C-alpha cells in the first residue's frame, strides 16, 4: 500500500479512496484480533475479561468480600475501561462464573448464572450478585508489585494493566473461543496440576521435547466427567501443530435393564439430546427403545434414562448408534491461536506455549523481585537517615525549629541525601522524639537479610528457577484438583443400518408360479391356500425374519436379493418380483431362501452337479443379480437345501426321476461362492439333455432323520438305518428304489 499523502493548498490531507478503505479495514481487523477475540498468552484473558477481573479487584470484590450487584461491576467496567456495550461485558462475566463452562471459574456468583442445559439462561445483571473466586488471586496477587505495564484506558483518563501477572499458564487452564477477522481461536481447558507439572519439567529441563511434555499433559480436561475418546497419537499431533479436533463421549451404565447416561460432553444440553432421541423414536428409527425420561436433580446433575423394549436389546449397539446420531458424542475443534509476548497472533504448539509463558513468568518474577529490592534499598537508605537523626536527636530538633531551610541545613550538617532529609522532616517532632535505636536496627537487619536474599536470587538463574518452580507447585497444590474428563480408547460409533433398525418379526415369503411375491406375518401360514390370480398358483415359500434378506434363484442360475421388510403384504396378491429385479428374458424363478448370513445351502442342478454355498455369498445389491450356479447343457436349477452348521454326521441324499437314490457324506462336496460344483449323482449328459433322466431333488439328512419319498399318492419312509443299501461314493449312479417308486415326484426330510 502506498503511503503517499497529498496536501492541497488549504493544508488538507487528501488520500485516495482505496488507500483509505484498505487502511481502515486493516486497522479494524487488527483491533478485533488484538482487543476483542484472542487471549494473551500471559494471563489467558481477552481484554474484556481482563478489565472485568481488574475492575472487580479495584472494587474490593475479593473471594472473602461480600457479594455485590453485578450491574455495579459491569457499570464500573464500562465506565472506566471497556469501550463496548454492557451486554457484551456481562456475557463475558457470566462465562467466567459458570463452572460448567470454565474449568477454574474466576467469578463467584449468586443468582441464576445459567444452567448446563442452557448456558444462556442466566438472569439479567440487576438480579445477580458477584465477587471474585479464590482462583482469581493467581492473576491478581502480584498486581501492585511492579509486575505490570500500565497503559491508558479507552478514553485516556486513567491507566489499566496491559496483561495481568498470572502465576499459572491460565491460557491453557480455562481455554477460550473467539472469532476474529480471518482467524479463530479454540483453546480447550486443561488440568492445573498437569499443566504445572509440564511447566516445572520444562523449567528444569529446557531441552525437553513435546513427547516428554505430553507425558504430563496427556489431553485437555473439560469441566465434565464425559470421556475423551480421541486416540493418544491424534492428541499428540494436535499439540505438535496447535490444530486438530477432539471427540468426547457421554458416560453411561446399566441399571437393571435401563440405560443411565450420567455425564454429557462439554456444553451439551441434556434436553437437546432427549429431543434428538425422541425424534428418532417418533420416526420409528429406534424400535428397540420403549421410553425416555430425564431424572436429573441437584444430587445428580445429569441422569438421562433410556428404557429398552426388552432385556434382549444390545445396550452397547444401541448406545453406539446414539453416539453416532446424537450429541451424546461430540467433536470439538482445537486451534491454539493466541497473542504471544511479541504482541502478534500465532497458532502455537504445546511446548512453544509453555516455553513462551515461562519466559513471561520469569520476566514477571524478575520484575517483582527487582521492584521489591528497590523498595528495600530505599527503606534501608531512609532508616540510615533515621538512625543519624536518632543519634543526634537534640541537634536535629534544634535545626528544625530554628532554621528557615532545615532540609539544606540537615544535609549540610549530617551529610544526608535529599530523600533522607525529606523523610526526617515528614516525621512530626513528637514522632521524631519517639525514634528507638532497637526498632531501627531491627528493621535494618530484617531488610538487609531480605536484600541479600533478593540479590542472591536475582544474581543466579538457578535460584530464580527454583523460586518460580516452588511458586508454581504451591499454586497447583492450592488450586489444583484431580482430572475430571477420563481418557478412554473406544471403537468408532456406528449408526444402525436401515436393516438393523427393522424389527425381527417372523415372516413367510411366498412366491407364485407367475413370479408374484408377498410376505405374510408369522410361520403358521398355509402358503398354498392363499388367494392367487387366475391362472397363477403357489410355487415356493421360505420362512425367516423380517430383518433377513430374501434371495431368489432363477432358472439361469443367477441369484437376486430383496429386502424382506418392505415386501408387499400377503393380505393382497403381492406384486411382480420383476418390478424389483431385472432377470434375463424368459427366466423363471426356481429357488427361494430366507436365512441368517452364515447359513449354508446345498445348491445343485438337476444335471447332477452341486456345491455348498454360504448365504452371504448369494447376496448382491445388483438388480441384475449375480451368476451363482453354472448349469450344464439341459440342466435346470433345483430348490436349494439347508445345510446344518456342523458337517459331521451330515449326509447328502440325491434322487433321480427314475428312482435312483444315492447317499454320501456332505463333507465330500466343496464349499464354493459360485460355479458348477462337483458331481453328485452320475447321470449321462446325453440323457440330461434329452430330459430322459435328471435329479428330482437333493436333500441334506442326519442320522436322526428319515427320508419320505413320494411317487403319485404313494409314500415310502426310509429311516437312516435303512439307507445302507443306497450309500456310495459321490458321483456314482446310485441304487434303484423298490418297485412302485421307479417314477418319483419328490422327497422330503422328516
Catalogue the active-site residues.
Answer: 127
The CA-CA-CA angle for residues 285, 291, 294, to 5°, reads 115
Q: What is the DSSP string of 236-287?
A: HHHHHHSEEEEEEE-EEEEETTEEEEEE--TT--HHHHHHHHHHHHHTT--T
Summarize the chain as % helix, strand, coil (round to 5): 35, 25, 40
Residues 6+ apart with CB under 8 A from 239: 210, 213, 214, 217, 349, 350, 351
Strands 304-308 and 258-263: antiparallel
**Nearest Cα to Cα of residue 493 among 719, 274, 328:** 328
Contact 593, 551 (CB under 8 A): yes
Contact 303, 260 (CB under 8 A): yes
**Nearest Cα to Cα of residue 326 among 282, 268, 284, 283:** 268
Q: What is the 3-state secondary structure (H, E, C) of 621-682?
A: CCCCCEECECCCCCCCECCCEEECCCCCCEEEEEEECCCEEEEEEHHHCCECCCECCEECCC
Burial of residue 670 (CB within 10 Å: 0-12, 13-18, 19+) is exposed
Q: What is the DSSP string of 78-124?
A: HHHT--S-HHHHHHHHHHHH-TTT-SS-SEEEES----SS-TT-PPP
SS3 598: coil
- 512: left (phi > 0), else alpha (psi -120 to 50), else beta? beta
- The overall longest dimension of the chain from CA atoms, in Å, is 158
- As given in the structure block, the three cell numbers for residue 482 are 484431580
What is the rounded CA–CA span in Å between residue 732 and residue 736? Answer: 12
Strands 550-554 and 506-512: unpaired
What is the rounded CA–CA span in Å between residue 468 and residue 227? Answer: 33
**Nearest Cα to Cα of residue 410 among 376, 423, 441, 378:** 423
Pseudo-torsion of CA 712, 714, 715, 718, nearest 10°? -110
Pseudo-torsion of CA 112, 114, 116, 118, nearest 10°? 130
Angle at which helices 406-414 and 418-426 cross, to 10°: 130
Q: What is the DSSP string of 126-176?
A: GG-EEEE-GGGHHHHTTTTTT---EEE-TTSSSEEESS---SS-HHHHT-E
Identify the sign of the CA torsion 554, 556, 557, 561.
Answer: negative
- As given in the structure block, the three cell numbers for residue 44 are 489467558
Contact 324, 277 (CB under 8 A): no
What is the rounded CA–CA span in Å between residue 67 and residue 131? Answer: 5
Amino acid at each position: 500500500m502506498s503511503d503517499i499523502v497529498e496536501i492541497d493548498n488549504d493544508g488538507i490531507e487528501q488520500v485516495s479512496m482505496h488507500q483509505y478503505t484498505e487502511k481502515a479495514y486493516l486497522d479494524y481487523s487488527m483491533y478485533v484480533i488484538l482487543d476483542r477475540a484472542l487471549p494473551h498468552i500471559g494471563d489467558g484473558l481477552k481484554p474484556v475479561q481482563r478489565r472485568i477481573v481488574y475492575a472487580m479487584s479495584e472494587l474490593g470484590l475479593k473471594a472473602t468480600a461480600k457479594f455485590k450487584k453485578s450491574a455495579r461491576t459491569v457499570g464500573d467496567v464500562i465506565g472506566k475501561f471497556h469501550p463496548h456495550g454492557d451486554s457484551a461485558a456481562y456475557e463475558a462475566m457470566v462465562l467466567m462464573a459458570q463452572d460448567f463452562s470454565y474449568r477454574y471459574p474466576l467469578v463467584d456468583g449468586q443468582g441464576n448464572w445459567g444452567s448446563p442445559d442452557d448456558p444462556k439462561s442466566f438472569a439479567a445483571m440487576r438480579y445477580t450478585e458477584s465477587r471474585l473466586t479464590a482462583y482469581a488471586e493467581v492473576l491478581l496477587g502480584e498486581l501492585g508489585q511492579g509486575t505490570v505495564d500500565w497503559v491508558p484506558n479507552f478514553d485516556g483518563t486513567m491507566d489499566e494493566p496491559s496483561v495481568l501477572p498470572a502465576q499459572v499458564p491460565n491460557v491453557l487452564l480455562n481455554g477460550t473461543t473467539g472469532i476474529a477477522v480471518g482467524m479463530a481461536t479454540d483453546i480447550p481447558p486443561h488440568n492445573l496440576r498437569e499443566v504445572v507439572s509440564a511447566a516445572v519439567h520444562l523449567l528444569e529441563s529446557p531441552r525437553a521435547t513435546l513427547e516428554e511434555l505430553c507425558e504430563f499433559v496427556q489431553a485437555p480436561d473439560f469441566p465434565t466427567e464425559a470421556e475423551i475418546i480421541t486416540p493418544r497419537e491424534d492428541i499428540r499431533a494436535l499439540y505438535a501443530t496447535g490444530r486438530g479436533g477432539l471427540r468426547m463421549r457421554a458416560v453411561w451404565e446399566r441399571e437393571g435393564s435401563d440405560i443411565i447416561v450420567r455425564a454429557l460432553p462439554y456444553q451439551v444440553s441434556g434436553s437437546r439430546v432427549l429431543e434428538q432421541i425422541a425424534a428418532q423414536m417418533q420416526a420409528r428409527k429406534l424400535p428397540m427403545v420403549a421410553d425416555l425420561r430425564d431424572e436429573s436433580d441437584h444430587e445428580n446433575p445429569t441422569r438421562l434414562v433410556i428404557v429398552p423394549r426388552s432385556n434382549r436389546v444390545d445396550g452397547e449397539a444401541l448406545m453406539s448408534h446414539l453416539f453416532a446420531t446424537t450429541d451424546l458424542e461430540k467433536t470439538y475443534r482445537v486451534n491454539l491461536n493466541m497473542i504471544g509476548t511479541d504482541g502478534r497472533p500465532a497458532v502455537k504448539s504445546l511446548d512453544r506455549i509453555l516455553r513462551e509463558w515461562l519466559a513471561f513468568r520469569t520476566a514477571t518474577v524478575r520484575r517483582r523481585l527487582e521492584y521489591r529490592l528497590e523498595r528495600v534499598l530505599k527503606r534501608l537508605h531512609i532508616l540510615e537517615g533515621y538512625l543519624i537523626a536518632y543519634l543526634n536527636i537534640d541537634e536535629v530538633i534544634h535545626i528544625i525549629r530554628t532554621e528557615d531551610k532545615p532540609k539544606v541545613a540537615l544535609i549540610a550538617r549530617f551529610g544526608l541525601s535529599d530523600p533522607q532529609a525529606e523523610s526526617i522532616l515528614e516525621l512530626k517532632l513528637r514522632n521524631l522524639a519517639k525514634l528507638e535505636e532497637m526498632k531501627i536496627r531491627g528493621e535494618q537487619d530484617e531488610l538487609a537479610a531480605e536484600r541479600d536474599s533478593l540479590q542472591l536470587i536475582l544474581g543466579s538463574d538457578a535460584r530464580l528457577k527454583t523460586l518460580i518452580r516452588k511458586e508454581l507447585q504451591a499454586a497447583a497444590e492450592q488450586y489444583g484438583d484431580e482430572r475430571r474428563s477420563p481418557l478412554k480408547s473406544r471403537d468408532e460409533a456406528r449408526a444402525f443400518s436401515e436393516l438393523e433398525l427393522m424389527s425381527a418379526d417372523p415372516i413367510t415369503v411366498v412366491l407364485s408360479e407367475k413370479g408374484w411375491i408377498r410376505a405374510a406375518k408369522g410361520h403358521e401360514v398355509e402358503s398354498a391356500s392363499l388367494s392367487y390370480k387366475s391362472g397363477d398358483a403357489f410355487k415356493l415359500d421360505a420362512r425367516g425374519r423380517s430383518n433377513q434378506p430374501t434371495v431368489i434363484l432363477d432358472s439361469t442360475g443367477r441369484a437376486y436379493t430383496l429386502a424382506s421388510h418392505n415386501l408387499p403384504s400377503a393380505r393382497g396378491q403381492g406384486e411382480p418380483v420383476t418390478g424389483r429385479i431385472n432377470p434375463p428374458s424368459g427366466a423363471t424363478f426356481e429357488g427361494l431362501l430366507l436365512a441368517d448370513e452364515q447359513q449354508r445351502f446345498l445348491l445343485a442342478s438337476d444335471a447332477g452337479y452341486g456345491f455348498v454355498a454360504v448365504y452371504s455369498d448369494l447376496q448382491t445389491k445388483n438388480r441384475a443379480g449375480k451368476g451363482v450356479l453354472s448349469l450344464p447343457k439341459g440342466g435346470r436349477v433345483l430348490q436349494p437345501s439347508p445345510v446344518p452348521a456342523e458337517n459331521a454326521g451330515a449326509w447328502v441324499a440325491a434322487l433321480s426321476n427314475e428312482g435312483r437314490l444315492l447317499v454320501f457324506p456332505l463333507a465330500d462336496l466343496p464349499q464354493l461362492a459360485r460355479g458348477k460344483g462337483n458331481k453328485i449323482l452320475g447321470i449321462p449328459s446325453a440323457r440330461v439333455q434329452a430330459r430322459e433322466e435328471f435329479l428330482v431333488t437333493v436333500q441334506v439328512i442326519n442320522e436322526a432323520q428319515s427320508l419320505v419319498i413320494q411317487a403319485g399318492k404313494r409314500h415310502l419312509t426310509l429311516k437312516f438305518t435303512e439307507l445302507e443299501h443306497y450309500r456310495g461314493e459321490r458321483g456314482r449312479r446310485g441304487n434303484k428304489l423298490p418297485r412302485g417308486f421307479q417314477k418319483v415326484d419328490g422327497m422330503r426330510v422328516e
